[in-house]
Every structure is written in structure tokens, then in C-alpha cells.
């Protein structure tokens, strides 16, 4: 992926940039809103990481609004020190596609960038999702593994749907919490892990190979690869 990083804090920028490079992405970097704006209009990126508070005459939200105003549809992830739900809403309303509060785990950022870049590719409405021998009928709300029906609760269905839409991508616990349950708080108990293990028991029971993997200290991935 070709990524533009707009971040004024050197330390955080260095860390993000190195991490992204190590993950095999191409990264360009701007330290101010104006530089970021110039780069974003001159080049095409798969995704932009935009710090919200930037020095100079134009801040992160200003850049996003200007880009959206010019018809630029590049996916943008906002980085912010403001965790307030109202601030999140403001950020997303200005044209951002996702909002990540600082400090964050690098795995979280990477997983969200993957999800953002992928979202652009499959926007058409599907009626079935499938990967390996697992398939999901979105209209009949039915899931089968190797031809056998897997009975799922409505919430388990939604969880699996999210995982299947992000096949071969790491999804974090926070992403699941926000997208499957629409909660924006951190449950102290490892509730998500329990939901995942219940789902795993259902879809991977008796299957030839397990599909739902745990990615240590980051989250989960639904994949048929080894």
C-alpha cells in the first residue's frame, strides 16, 4: 500500500513510519497540514493517516475538509489525542473514514489501515460471502461449513459476517467492539475473546482446518492460508 502520513510529532511519526515500512508499505511523510495537503493533491495514495492537531494555519480536519471538497475520495484515518465521543463524531463528519485515539498499539493501526484500504475495493452489495469451505447467505441468514449448516445466534452471525468481510486481514478487539456491537468503551473482562471462542467452536468444530486464528497481542484473523 502507498500511505501518506501527516503527523507533527517526530517520535510518533518515526515509529509509525518504521512500522509501516517493516510491514511492507510505501510511506510518504509530511509534518504540517500544508505539506500534507500538497502531497495529497499531487499524488495518489491508498490511504492517508492524518493527525488531528497540526501546527500552522490548517489542522487535520481542515485538510480533510479541503480534500473532500475537491472530490478526493482517498480513505483517511484520523489520529487524535481527543478521545471524546463528540470529537470522534466531528472527525468522522469532516470526511474521515476511521478515528483512532492516541496512544494506540501499532497492530491496531495496521489492522485499521488494511480494513480501510480494502473497503474501497468491495463496495458492491453482496448476497453471499464465502471463503474456503465456509459460506454465508446474507439473505437467508444461513451459514454452512463444508456443506453442513452451522446454527448461529444473530450476534454470532454479525460477528462472523464482519470477519468474513475482512478475510485474511487482522481485526482487533476494538474493531469488533466498534463494528459488531457498536460500543465505544473498553469492557474490562475479555468478553470479545469469549465471543470469538464460542464462534470458533461452532465453525471450526470437526472442520478439516481451523479458519479463525488468534493473532497474538493484536486480534483475530479469518484465513484459510497457512
> Judged by CB under 8 A, which of 125, 139, 149, 185 binds another protein?
185
Cell of 173: 478487539
* CA–CA distance, 167 with 80 (Å, rounded to integer): 28
Q: State in angstroms the smallest separation of the CB of 81 from another protein.
A: 4
Contacts 24+ apart (CB under 8 A), 152-156: 152/199, 152/202, 155/180, 155/181, 155/195, 156/195, 156/198, 156/199, 156/202
CB 64 within 8 A of CB 52: no
Letters for 136-175 (x = contact with another protein by CB under 8 A, - = none) are: -------------------x--------------------
55 counts as binding another protein under rule CB under 8 A:
no
Q: Which is nearer to another protein, 121 or 188 (CB)?
A: 188
Place of cell 495496521: 110
Q: Is 38 in the site for another protein (CB under 8 A)?
A: no
Determine, following the binding rule CB under 8 A, whether residue 187 of this chain makes contact with another protein: yes
Pairing mode, if any, of strands 134-137 and 26-30? unpaired
- Pick between residue 133 and residue 178 the one whose CB is nearest to another protein: 178
Q: Check binding of 81 to another protein (CB under 8 A).
A: yes
Kindly state whether residue 189 participates in binding another protein, applying the rule CB under 8 A.
yes
Instruction: Please give the distance of CA 45 from its chain centroid, rounded to a whole number.
Output: 17
Enumerate binding residues for another protein (CB under 8 A): 9, 11-12, 15-16, 18-19, 22, 53, 81-86, 101-106, 155, 181, 183-191, 194-195, 197-198, 217
Amino acid at each position: 500500500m502507498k500511505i501518506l502520513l501527516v503527523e507533527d510529532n517526530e517520535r510518533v511519526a518515526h515509529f509509525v513510519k518504521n512500522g509501516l515500512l517493516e510491514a511492507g508499505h510505501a510511506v510518504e511523510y509530511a509534518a504540517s497540514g500544508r505539506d500534507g495537503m500538497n502531497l495529497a493533491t499531487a499524488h495518489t495514495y491508498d490511504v492517508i493517516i492524518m493527525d488531528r492537531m497540526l501546527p500552522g494555519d490548517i489542522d487535520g480536519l481542515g485538510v480533510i475538509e479541503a480534500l473532500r471538497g475537491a472530490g478526493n475520495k482517498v480513505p483517511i484515518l484520523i489520529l487524535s489525542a481527543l478521545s471524546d465521543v463528540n470529537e470522534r463524531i466531528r472527525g468522522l463528519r469532516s470526511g474521515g473514514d476511521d478515528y483512532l485515539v492516541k496512544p494506540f498499539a501499532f497492530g491496531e493501526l495496521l489492522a485499521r489501515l488494511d480494513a480501510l484500504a480494502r473497503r474501497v475495493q468491495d463496495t458492491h452489495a453482496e448476497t453471499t460471502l464465502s471463503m474456503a469451505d465456509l459460506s454465508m447467505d446474507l439473505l437467508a441468514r444461513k451459514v454452512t461449513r463444508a456443506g453442513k449448516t452451522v446454527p448461529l445466534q444473530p450476534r454470532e452471525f454479525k460477528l462472523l459476517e464482519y470477519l468474513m468481510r475482512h478475510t485474511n486481514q487482522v481485526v482487533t478487539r476494538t474493531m469488533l467492539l466498534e463494528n459488531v456491537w457498536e460500543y465505544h468503551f473498553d469492557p474490562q473482562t475479555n468478553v470479545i475473546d469469549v465471543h470469538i471462542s464460542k464462534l470458533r467452536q461452532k465453525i471450526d468444530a470437526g472442520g478439516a482446518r481451523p479458519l479463525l486464528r488468534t493473532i497474538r497481542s493484536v486480534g483475530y484473523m479469518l484465513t484459510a492460508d497457512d
